[in-house]
Amino acid sequence: MNISELMRLDIAKRADASFKKVKEVQAILNASITFIEDDGVRRDGKLAGIPVALKDNISTKGIRTTAASNILDDYIPIYDATIVKKLADAGAVFVSKSSMDELAMGGTNRTANIGPCLNPYDPKRITGGSSGGSAALVACGAVPLAIGSDTGDSVRKPASYCGVVGVKPSYGRISRYGIIPYASSLDHVGYFTTNVADAALALEVLAGRDDLDMTSSSIPVPQYSKLLNADIEGKRILIFDNVLKAIKDDDILSAFEKLIAGLKSKGAIIETVHFRDDLMKCLFPTYFIIANAEATANHSNLDGIRFGHRIDGDSMEEVMINTRTRGFSSFIKKRFVIGSYSLFEENQDRLLRKAQKVRRLICDEVLNKLKTADVLIAPASGSIAPLIDSPSTDELNDEYLVVENHMVIGNFAGLPSMTLPLGQKEGMPFGVNITCNAFDETGMFTIGKAIEEISGLKDLTKEVL
Amino acid sequence: MKYDVVVGIEIHAELNTHTKMFSGAPYHFKAEANTCTNEVDLAHPGVLPCVNREAVKKAVELCTALNLKIDPLIKFDRKNYYYSDLPKGYQITQQFHPIGKDGHVTVDDEGTKQTIRINRIHMEEDTAKQFHLYDETLIDFNRAGVPLVEIVSEPDITSGKEAALYVEKLRQTLTYLDVSDARMEEGSMRCDINISLKEKGSDVFGTKVEIKNLNSIANIKEAIEYEIERQTKALESGEKIAQETRRFDEKTMTTVSMRKKEGSVDYKYFPEPNIFPILLSAEDIREITEAMPELPDVKEARYKDEFKLSDYDAGQLIQNKDLALYYDEMMKSGKYPKTCCNLLLSELQGLLAKRNESIAETEVRPNMLAKLAALLEEKVISSKQGKEVLNLMLDGSDPEEIVKEKGLRQVSDTSIIEKIVEEVLTDNPESIHDYKNGKDRALGYLVGQVMKRSKGQANPQMASDLLKDKLAKL
């Protein structure tokens, strides 16, 4: 399913199938937390009548928003996120609040309080996370566009596992106002589509300065969809050598090689770049410290006093303690403890401030190389989607540290980055990731379009019914 | 005294901006509870802070007025702690980069100038207000997010009186700049005192005690004086001073222990990621400081230089910003600085006091009061008539209109007065006789007769002069 196909239908009918399908696939995928009922309102605009799913950390006025956490189980926002207004103004019709890892703190979508979200290509496998519900709903053809958020690779990894296009534009390109945060300096709004043209169109609607988000950019928003072409003649493409060297899967490697050959034959200039190994090994710890330090403060508002699921106590302090103890899962509490620990005055120099310095070094390393190039390219993951009950990964082995964390560079430096389908193995999709210079979304879509033409993997969906 | 007194003062002043520090919600002190809040103030999930430009401008003005070095790179940090009056679970403040550093003010202690250094001024946001009832607590979030500046002095203050002068000076500066209402009784200016005693001349500081709950400048003086006495007694009897927070009790005029301080709290400060640093250009700062209102010291000097007012009058005028602004307004059209000043300070203020009205509330416009000054100075009306006219001006009427309507115009035409004088002399030969025999009272009587026949409109000075003239010739 894609946007241009739906546009051929009568505006009143464009969302009909979606309203039905998000409910029908629920038993198989568990991809929605709240279904949104059709109010019958249809508005004109770039997305007139187009059904859209919203990750459940996006504030929707009057519609329950839980971020997949028990602590917000009965939270009904009093305001709309800026992107919700923008999408509605463009005529989008909301059909689902989609599943996610609790408070977007995870990469598997196994930690949602409603249980894991399942992969349409194989419900025994994960979707990846944290925006797994949105990825699954696009992948199964329930919606042509679903919004997610991306703090480490929370849009781009599930896009790889679910065989869809996943976009995270530059930091500041899309307003974050109304997105329940994970880590403010790393959080981006991202989204899923089934093709690059839809991705370009969606960004036209979502992007732009918002006075409610001081980190949003005033750079004018180009007409991405009109500028879209696949001409990559003379484009300089950097192959991310550290990632390639660490990948063990031959199918992924050979698909990647074929893609590079295709890009070369379209006139691109290919170069291989190797970043400092010590810095690449720091990607995960650096991310983990910064993200969790910010997260522990960001979620201090969840105290049961003003909203959310309150658990009573004899004093105000007890109310807070009870609410937070019962409201968060152990995964979240673990991250809060780590975040808090790195914020202690006696630890900050050694942990948070050091992590911030390392983040700067990593950014400099990558930005220096990108200065004279257009794009950095690598497989989005070293494998297809893992099985749900597979034992948790050793997060500190060399392969994991580089291969499964390289996309966080886009978050560290705020660079536009997207994942596109690259191939399939055992019936499961896997993707390729491209990362470009800040605010060069136009260039990113051009290269994305070329990749789409070479791979032929466009408008993929997997019927689950 | 055997001890040196060391006092440092931290002042929190609410900036009187239209909206909050980081949200677009309005704020009025008297608004009904929880009506001046929005999702940002309530810290609903997903909200982001947005720096109030006006608040930054006001902080720059204050730093300039108090001689602080301004850091043009505006940055904010999070101060983390859980409390029910702090919706976000952290306060956005300026821990690492305060907007201003190293300033000073000079206070005048009966002719002795005393300089008190200011360590820093930083911007932050206020917390909600809590009302603890018997078995429940109510929270009013109107105050949550109101812009604050915290002004931290160096420990340069050595007495209760000096502390009061310092706080009064800051209050005056805050109100003249119109950056804060600075009303201690309403909590828009709050004051914490740190006080310790040390052996005279010693470099070793004593144990610091913090005093809170000071809601007037008079209480600041009282609290410090009480605390000096209490600590002196304790030290002299060999007791140790406990490191604690005390509050001032207005009923007993003493300080009472609130809580002991044990170690410092780790607020886990870190830079606020949702606000990028904002760089103020030299031009931005110049624009702000050039548009700043005149400060009280400058005003006072100008009143003395330009208008030749006495120290006392100039001091009286600047004591109250509204009075000074009123006087400035009068002098835009007024020609008689001294008469204008007298009319304002004694006549109008006196009338308003009786009516329980403030200068800000009165219907009497400054240009009208200046007109009255001119009518008096130019002898169009007598000072007695002046009082009558001012009374009638309280509804906003123009004094010239009143004079016309009531026919109060003082007659200063010599020929008219001369005619009346002649009539009076003709009708009162015995008074002439008395006058000639040295009874000065007779002149007064004759002037009175002239005033009576002119229905009070004759210029009494002229009447008296003319009478003397005529009597001499008789």
Residues B144-156 pLDDT 10s: 999 999 999 999 9
Using the Cβ of B263 and the Cβ atoms of chain A, whether some distance falls under 8 Å is answered with no
Amino acid A29 reads L
The answer to whether A246 and A253 are in contact (CB under 8 A) is no
Note if A55 is an active site residue. yes
B276 to A303: CB separation less than 8 angstroms, yes or no: no
Give the burial string for B245-262 (b: 16+ CB within 10 Å, else e). Answer: bbbbeeeeebbeeeeeee
Which candidate from B137, B139, B274 shows the least CB-CB separation from A215?
B274
CB atoms within 10 A of CB A115: 12
Kindly provide the b/e burial profile for residues B356-365, where b requires at least 16 CB atoms within 10 angstroms of the residue's own CB: eeebeebebe
Contact between A243 and A379 (Cβ < 8 Å): yes
Q: Does A418 score more than 80 pLDDT?
A: yes
A chain contacts of residue B273, beta-carbon cutoff 8 Å: 183-185, 294
3-state secondary structure A410-461: HHHCCCCEEEEEEEEECCEEEEEEEEECCCCHHHHHHHHHHHHHHHCCCCCC
Q: Which two tokens stand for residue A275?
A: 């970043």
Closest CA to B359 of B324, B383, B391, B313: B324
Note whether B44 contacts A303, CB cutoff 8 Å.
no
Q: Which of A180, A320, A348 sits opposite B46 (nearest CB)?
A: A180
Sort out which chain B residues have CB atoms less than 8 A from A215's CB and list them. 48, 274-276
Q: What is the pLDDT of residues A53-97, one digit of tens each?
A: 999 999 999 999 999 999 999 999 999 999 999 999 999 999 999
- Closest Cβ opposite residue B274 in set A214, A302, A340: A214
Best mutation target among B48, B86, B125, B137 (most A Cβ atoms within 10 Å) is B48
State chain A's mean pLDDT as an integer: 96
Task: Note the pTM of the prediction, 2 decimals.
Answer: 0.89
Residue A371 structure tokens: 């200065």
For residue B50, give the nearest of A77, A211, A303 by CB distance.
A211
Chain A CB contacts of B89 below 8 Å? 297, 299-301, 303
The pLDDT tens digits for B240-285 are 999 999 999 999 999 999 988 777 789 999 999 999 999 999 999 9
Nearest CA in chain B to A300: B89
Chain A residue numbers touching B276 (CB-CB < 8 A): 214-215
B156 near B134, Cβ under 8 Å?
A: no
**Residues A149-175 pLDDT 10s:** 999 999 999 999 999 999 999 999 999
Rounded to whole angstroms, the Cα distance separating A180 from A71 reads: 13
* Arithmetic mean of pLDDT, B71-75: 97
Query: Considering only alpha carbons, which residue of chain B is nearest residue A59?
Result: B46
Q: What is the mean pLDDT of residues B372-383?
A: 86
Which amino acid does the sequence have at B60? Answer: V
Q: How many angstroms separate the CA atoms of B77 and B87, rounded?
A: 16
A300/B88 Cβ within 8 A: yes
Extract long-range pairs of B254-263: CB within 8 Å, 24+ residues apart: B254/B226, B254/B230, B255/B211, B255/B223, B255/B226, B255/B227, B255/B230, B258/B212, B261/B210
> How far is the C-alpha of A41 from the C-alpha of A22, rounded, in Å?
19
- H/E element, B209: strand B209-214
Nearest by CB: B48 against A75, A176, A320: A176
Q: Is residue B277 less than 8 Å (CB to CB) from chain A?
A: no
**A393: pLDDT confidence band, cut at 50, 70 and 90?**
low
Amino acid at A384: I
Backbone angles phi, psi at B158, to 5 degrees: -120, 0
A103 DSSP 8-state letter: G
> Which residue of B lies nearest to A213 if distances are taken between CA atoms?
B48
Taking the Cβ of residue B43 and every Cβ of chain A, the question of whether any pair is shorter than 8 Å is answered with yes
Token couple for A286: 């650096």
Nearest to A72 among B45, B82, B275 (CB): B45
Q: What pLDDT score does A399 carry? A: 79
Residues on chain A touching B274 (C-beta within 8 angstroms): 184, 213-215
Distance from CA of B80 to the nearest CA of A (A): 7
C-alpha distance from B99 to closest chain A C-alpha (Å):
19
Q: Is B39 on the interface with A (CB under 8 A)?
A: yes
What chain A residue is nearest to B87 in terms of C-alpha separation? Answer: A301
Nearest by CB to residue A297, choosing from B42, B51, B90, is B90
B48 interfacial to chain A (CB closer than 8 Å): yes
- B92 touches B55 (CB < 8 A): no
- For residue A306, the chain B residues in CB contact (below 8 A) are 42-44, 87
Tell me the pLDDT band of A337, cut-offs 50, 70 and 90.
Answer: very high
- Please state, in angstroms and rounded to a whole number, the distance separating the CA atoms of residues B110 and B311: 13
- Whether the CA torsion A312, A313, A317, A320 is positive or negative: it is negative
Interface A–B counts its CB contacts (< 8 A) at 103
Q: Are A18 and A143 in contact (CB under 8 A)?
A: yes
User: Is residue B34 scored above 70 in pLDDT?
Assistant: yes
Give yes or no: A154 in active site.
Answer: yes
* pLDDT score, position A392: 67
> pLDDT, tens digit, for every residue of B214-245?
999 999 999 999 999 999 999 999 999 999 99
Of B44, B266, B273, the CB nearest to A79: B44
Residue among A170, A259, A260, A247 at smallest CA distance from A216: A170
Q: What are phi and psi of B464, to 5 degrees?
A: -65, -45
Q: How far apart are CA B408 and CA B406, in angstroms?
A: 5
Total length of chain B:
474
Residue B412, pLDDT > 80, answer no
- B335 by DSSP, 3-state: which? coil
pLDDT at B435 over 90: no
Q: Which residues of A touch B90 (CB under 8 A)?
A: 297, 300
- Cα–Cα distance measured from residue A398 to residue B13, given in angstroms and rounded to the nearest whole number: 54
**Which strand ranges, in their side-by-side order, compose the sheet holding A269-273?**
A32-35, A93-98, A51-55, A145-150, A188-193, A165-168, A417-425, A428-436, A375-379, A236-240, A269-273
The arithmetic mean of pLDDT across residues B333-358, rounded, is: 90
Q: Helix, strand, or coil here: A206?
A: helix
Domains with residue ranges and CATH for chain B: 3-279 (no CATH), 294-405 (no CATH), 414-473 (1.10.10.410)
Is A276 within 8 Å of A40 (Cβ atoms)? no
Distance from CA of A360 to the nearest CA of B (A): 15
Strands (E) across A169-217 are located at: 188-193
Who wins on pLDDT, A420 or B333? A420
**CA triple A114-A426-A459, angle to 5 deg:** 70
Separation of CA B130 from chain center: 29
Contact A214 B46 (CB under 8 A): no
Q: Is A130 assigned a catalytic role?
A: yes
The three-point CA angle A46-A49-A50 to 5° equals 75
Q: Please name the residue of chain B whose CA is at the shortest distance from the CA of residue A79.
A: B39
Question: Hey, are the CB atoms on B80 and A343 less than 8 Å from each other?
Answer: yes
* pLDDT computed for residue B16 by the predictor: 97
- A4-20: pLDDT as tens digits: 999 999 999 999 999 99
Closest residue of B to A178, CA-based? B46
SS3 (DSSP) at B281: coil
Residue B149 distance to chain A (closest CA, Å): 21
In whole angstroms, give the CA distance from residue B14 to residue A363.
Answer: 40
Phi then psi for B260, rounded to 5 degrees? -80, 150
Catalytic option among A18, A21, A55, A175: A55
Strand partners, A342: none
Closest CA relative to residue A172, chosen from A159, A182, A186? A186
Enumerate the residues of chain A whose CB falls inside 8 A of the CB of residue B137. Answer: 316
* Cβ within 8 Å, pair B276-A214: yes
Name the active-site residue from A131, A134, A154, A216.
A154
Is residue B150 a contact partner of residue B11, using CB atoms and an 8 Å limit?
Answer: yes
Nearest to A295 by CA among A185, A409, A177, A172: A185
d(CA B302, CA B299): 5
**What are A376's strand-pairing partners?**
A238, A435
B80 touches A at CB < 8 Å: yes
Closest CA to A34 of A59, A65, A57: A65
Cα A122 from Cα A237, distance rounded (Å): 33
